[in-house]
Amino acid sequence: MNFKQSFNLAIKSLAASKMRAFLTMLGIIIGVAAVIILVSLVDGFKNSMLEQFNSIGANTISVSIRSRGGTRTVNVDEMLALCDEHPDILLAATPNVTATGTAKIGTEDLSSSITGVGESYLDVTTSEIQQGRFLTYNDINTRQKVCIVGSYISKEFFNGNAVDQTLKINGNTFKIVGVFEEVADSTEGSSDDKIIIPYTTVRSITQFSFVSSYTFATVDESLSPQGKTIIENFLLSIFASDSYYTVMSMAEMLDMVDTLTSQITLILVGIAGISLLVGGIGIMNIMLVSVTERTREIGIRKSLGARRFDIMSQFVVEAATTSAVGGVVGIVLGIVVSYVAGTLLNLIIKPSYLAILIAFTFSAAIGIMFGYFPANKAAKLNPIDALRHD
């Protein structure tokens, strides 16, 4: 019996008992779908995080300072002065202050992120202005209540003409003077859903007294290590201990994100793989039952000259086909659920072709592996004893 004949018999066997075949494949279906869904979601979260990082720039260095109190502290002017002292390495810097509170347009509350920055913000990020202007030194120095909004806010609330319109932050009226270029399809919660205001204004309306976050940009990406060293040496001279600050380049952040998501993916795939093993055990159990039910058939075939290999291949192909069909159904289910989950979580989901290939290959291998024992049992049956079986 060749492979084609064995495959046709396997399909007929599945079609003859659809409910039993479905229940047999259920573990494989769930396992394959779970692998695809989990890998797709992790990739979606990873891409979302990388999008956020890339919007800052590949040549940037993030600085986080924990206030020590007492006389040892560092102010904004001292941090920004590093760029003037090392112009060949440090291009620009901006303070970053996250504003707490609510933003409103009319009576509608916004969930947009509100961040206070300096006039050099555009020099340390990849953001560009589409309409209007960005913050100026005068805006920063005089704590003007002006803001730049993302394209989502402009399109959603002002029909694409947000410049010179107003919104409120913590009850304070802000004039919109600029709109950022679209970078993330102008969707809610994306990089296009943001409000940028002067960091000095944030301090005045929220009573922030200490700026703890800064973003530096080096003249070139290759100079990031030198720029990091300059900043670290300066902060060490102030605090005398590196436990009061963290300095990290974008390259290091990307490596951390990649390592973390890879580890999470392996863990989740390992957990989902348990379903595949359970599905394989289910296939083996059903195949053992099938061997018992078809003992007389096996005896007849052997008495007519079927070789041991023919019997074994028939049951192995049947088990592998059952598992492979379950794998295909699991792939379809996994892709559909991935897209639905991506829509609900506001993530750009692209099912991994590698994950699909691995999941399908593994499901077929599970069928062969767990189908071998029942097939071997069937092949070893004595034809005389098999014919006597009731």
Q: Is the pLDDT of residue 299 over 80?
A: no
pLDDT tens, 2-12?
Answer: 566 666 766 77
Q: Please tell me the distance from the alpha carbon of residue 240 to that of residue 234, in angstroms, as a whole number.
A: 10
So what's the pLDDT on residue 363?
80
Cut 0.75: pTM above it: no
| Cβ neighbours for 349, distance < 8 A, ≥ 6 positions apart | 40, 41, 43, 44, 338, 339, 341, 342
pLDDT tens, 160-182?
Answer: 899 999 999 888 999 999 999 98
Mean per-residue pLDDT, 296-317: 71
pLDDT tens, 199-236?
Answer: 999 888 876 668 889 999 999 888 988 999 999 999 99
Average pLDDT, the chain: 83
What are residue 195's phi and psi, to 5 degrees? -130, 125
For residue 146, CA distances in Å to 142, 163, 166, 209, 258 come to 11, 11, 9, 20, 37
pLDDT tens, 98-155?
Answer: 887 788 898 888 888 889 999 999 999 888 999 999 999 999 999 999 999 999 999 9
So what's the pLDDT on residue 79?
94
Query: How confident is residue 282, by pLDDT bands cut at 50, 70 and 90?
Result: confident
Q: Is the pLDDT of residue 347 over 80?
A: no
- Measure the CA angle with vertex 209, ends 203 and 214; round to 5°: 80
Query: How confident is residue 73, by pLDDT bands cut at 50, 70 and 90?
Result: confident
Give the rounded percent of residues in the chain with a pLDDT score beyond 90. 29
So what's the pLDDT on residue 3?
60
Using CB atoms within 10 Å of the CB of residue 91, give its burial: 0 to 12 exposed, 13 to 18 middle, 19+ buried.
buried
- Distance from the Cα of residue 7 to its chain's centroid: 39
So what's the pLDDT on residue 198?
94
So what's the pLDDT on residue 151?
92
So what's the pLDDT on residue 349?
80
Query: How confident is residue 70, by pLDDT bands cut at 50, 70 and 90?
Result: low
So what's the pLDDT on residue 84?
93
So what's the pLDDT on residue 2?
59
| Helices and strands counted in the chain (H then E) | 12, 12
184-204 in b/e form (b: 16+ CB < 10 A) is bebeebbbbbbbbbbbbbbbe
Q: Where is mean pLDDT largest: 51-55, 286-290, 340-344?
A: 340-344
Nearest to 206 by CA among 149, 143, 137, 141: 143
Mean per-residue pLDDT, 323-337: 88
